[in-house]
Copies of this chain bind each other. A is one copy, B any other.
Amino acid sequence: MTYSYISHLYCPKCSNTYSAKEQHHLCVCGSPLLVDYKLDEIKAKVTREEIAGRTHDLWRYHELLPVEDEQNKVSLGEGMTPLIAMPRLGREMSVENLYMKDEGMVPTGTFKARGAAVGISKAKELGVREFAMPTNGNAGAAWALYGARAGIKSTIVMPVDAPLITRNEVALSGAKLYLVNGLISDAGKIVAKAVNEHGLYDASTLKEPYRIEGKKTMGLEIAEQLGWTLPDVIVYPTGGGVGLIGIYKALKELKVLGWVTGDLPRLVAVQAVGCAPIVKAWEEKKAESEFWPGSASIAFGINVPKALGDFLVLKALYQTAGCAIAVDDQVMIEEQEKIAQLEGAFICPEGAAAFAAIRKLRESGWIQEGETVVALNTGAGIKYPDTVKVDVPVLEIGDSLDGKVTN
C-alpha cells in the first residue's frame, strides 16, 4: 500500500520543480517551495469512508502527507482536535453558527505541533541529523521536542521576550537554546548565519516545505468534521501565515479529490494593530507586504513584522474573497475573558483575536446572518499566564467566606 502520494516540490512563484527525495529549502528564485501530490491516484484509490475508520490523529490523511515510509512517522498523538460549538458566544455576537477549532489540545499546547510532527518526520526521512530555527517560542518548543523524539538535534534561537514556558520546553528537550535581545527577524539572521557556516538543516518558517503540510491538516479536519462540507468563513490569527496557506492548500486539494464541492470559505487573516503588515498590504491591494517597523503585541505568535510567505497569504485572501483585519491588544484581552465566561474555554490571545475579528466583521456586515464561521484557536491560554491579571483575597486557616460568597 502506498503511504504517501507525494509527487515533487514546486515553486509557486517561478514554477521551478524539485525532487522530494532530497533536502530542499527555498527555490533558486527565493520563494518557499510547496509540495505536490498525485491527486488523481488518491482520487482513484482512497475514499472518505476509508478515512473515517482510521486513527484519530492527523496521520489519517497520510496519502496527502509527504512522509513515504510510515516508519519515519514521529508522532505524539497530534491532530483531530475538537471543533467546538460556541453557542453562547455566537448568540452574543449574532453569529449563530460559530465554531472553534481548538488547537490547544495537542502536544506542546499549540498548533505548532502539527508542523513539527510532519516537518520532523520528513526531516528524519531525508536523513537530517541536526536542524536550526528561529522562533517566537511555540514553534521552537514543538520542533525541539519532536526532534528529541526523532533523535534529531536542534539549535533554537528566540527573542528574550518570548513566553517563558517555551524556553523551558526547549531546554528540557536537550536542544541548544539561545535568546536574542531583539525580534524573531533578528533571531532569523543569527540562524541563517549558523546554517551557512555549519551546514545545519534550516527549519525556519517556510524555508523547509513540509511544515505547511502538517498545518494544512487543520483544513482537512475542518472539512471532515463538518461532514465534508465547508464553512462560509474561516478566521485565522496570522503571523507567518503558514496555517492559512496550509488550510487554503488543503481545501483546494479536497476540491480536486471531489471530497468537497462548492465555493471555498472566505479566508480571514487576523493581525494585531501593533503588527499588521498583511492587513496593510491587503487594504492597499498589494501582492506582498512590507516590513512592519517597531512591531509589538501581547499576542506573541502573530508578532511577525514580515512573513516570507506573505504573498501566498495574500493570494489566498484574494482568491477566496476573504479579508485581513487588525485587532487591538486590549480588545483581544476582553474577548479572551468573554470566551472563558460564556464558553468555559481559556484560549490564547491569538485565538481571542480571531473571535474579536469575527465580532467586528459581523458588526460591519461582512459576515452575514446565518453564515457558518470557524475560528482557529491556535493555542492553549495556559501558555500565556501573563495575559491575565488577578487580584485574589487570601484567607487564613480557619477563616470563613461569610459575607463573601454572595455577590
A-to-B contact residues, CB < 8 Å: 56-57, 74-77, 80-84, 88, 102, 104-109, 132, 141, 145-151, 155, 157, 160, 164-165, 167-169, 171-174, 176-182, 186, 189-190, 193-194, 197-198, 200, 336-337, 340-346, 380-383, 385, 388, 390, 392-402, 404-407
Complex CA gap A390/B141 in Å reads 14
Q: Which residue of B lies closest to A160 (CB)?
A: B394
Task: Give, as a whole number of angstroms, the nearest-CB distance from A112 to chain B.
Answer: 13
Given contacts A56-B56, A104-B107, A155-B401, contact A346 B180 (CB under 8 A): no
Q: Is the Cβ of A149 less than 8 Å from the Cβ of B343? A: yes
Q: Is the Cβ of B77 less than 8 Å from the Cβ of A401? A: no
Q: Is the Cβ of A109 less than 8 Å from the Cβ of B177? A: no
Given contacts A168-B385, A388-B171, contact A107 B108 (CB under 8 A): no
Q: Is the Cβ of B392 less than 8 Å from the Cβ of A179? A: yes
Task: Give, as a whole number of angstroms, the nearest-CB distance from A148 to chain B.
Answer: 4
Chain B residues within 8 Å of A393, by CB: 178-179
Q: Is the Cβ of A80 less than 8 Å from the Cβ of B56? A: yes
Complex CA gap A178/B405 in Å reads 10
Given contacts A181-B395, A401-B193, contact A344 B146 (CB under 8 A): yes
Q: Is the Cβ of A178 less than 8 Å from the Cβ of B345? A: no
Task: Give, as a whole number of angstroms, the nearest-CB distance from A189 to chain B.
Answer: 7
Given contacts A76-B82, A145-B345, A160-B394, contact A336 B172 (CB under 8 A): yes
Q: Is the Cβ of A186 less than 8 Å from the Cβ of B76? A: no
Complex CA gap A74/B342 in Å reads 12
Chain B residues within 8 Å of A165, by CB: 382, 385
Given contacts A165-B385, A385-B164, A405-B176, contact A76 B344 (CB under 8 A): yes
Q: Which residue of B lies closest to A186 (CB)?
A: B397
Most buried by B among A341, A400, A401: A401
Q: Which residue of B lies closest to A148 (CB)?
A: B344
Task: Give, as a whole number of angstroms, the nearest-CB distance from A210 to chain B.
Answer: 17
Task: Give, as a whole number of angstroms, the nearest-CB distance from A133 to chain B.
Answer: 12
Instruction: Please name 16 further chain A to chain B contacts, defined as beta carbons within 8 Å, in addition to the given A76-B344, A145-B340, A197-B402, sorted by A numbering.
Output: A74-B344, A76-B82, A77-B102, A102-B107, A108-B382, A145-B346, A150-B344, A169-B340, A176-B404, A176-B405, A178-B392, A178-B395, A179-B395, A189-B397, A190-B395, A200-B405
Chosen A-B contacts, 22 in total, with CB atoms closer than 8 Å, are A56-B56, A77-B81, A77-B83, A77-B84, A104-B107, A105-B106, A107-B345, A148-B342, A148-B344, A165-B382, A167-B390, A169-B340, A169-B382, A172-B381, A176-B407, A178-B395, A178-B404, A180-B397, A181-B395, A194-B405, A198-B401, A198-B405
Complex CA gap A197/B406 in Å reads 12
Q: Which residue of B lies closest to A147 (CB)?
A: B344
Complex CA gap A405/B178 in Å reads 10
Q: Is the Cβ of B146 less than 8 Å from the Cβ of A395? A: no
Q: Which residue of B lies closest to A398 (CB)?
A: B189
Q: Is the Cβ of B346 less than 8 Å from the Cβ of A169? A: yes
Task: Give, as a whole number of angstroms, the nearest-CB distance from A142 to chain B.
Answer: 9
Complex CA gap A263/B151 in Å reads 37
Complex CA gap A407/B177 in Å reads 12
Chain B residues within 8 Å of A186, by CB: 397-398
CB < 8 Å neighbour of A105 from B77, B149, B176, B193 = B77
Task: Give, as a whole number of angstroms, the nearest-CB distance from A153 to chain B.
Answer: 9
Q: Is the Cβ of A76 less than 8 Å from the Cβ of B80? A: no
Chain B residues within 8 Å of A382, by CB: 108-109, 165, 169, 380, 382-383
Most buried by B among A77, A151, A177, A198: A77
Task: Give, as a whole number of angstroms, the nearest-CB distance from A231 to chain B.
Answer: 17
Chain B residues within 8 Å of A404, by CB: 176, 178
Complex CA gap A195/B267 in Å reads 50
Most buried by B among A171, A179, A346: A346
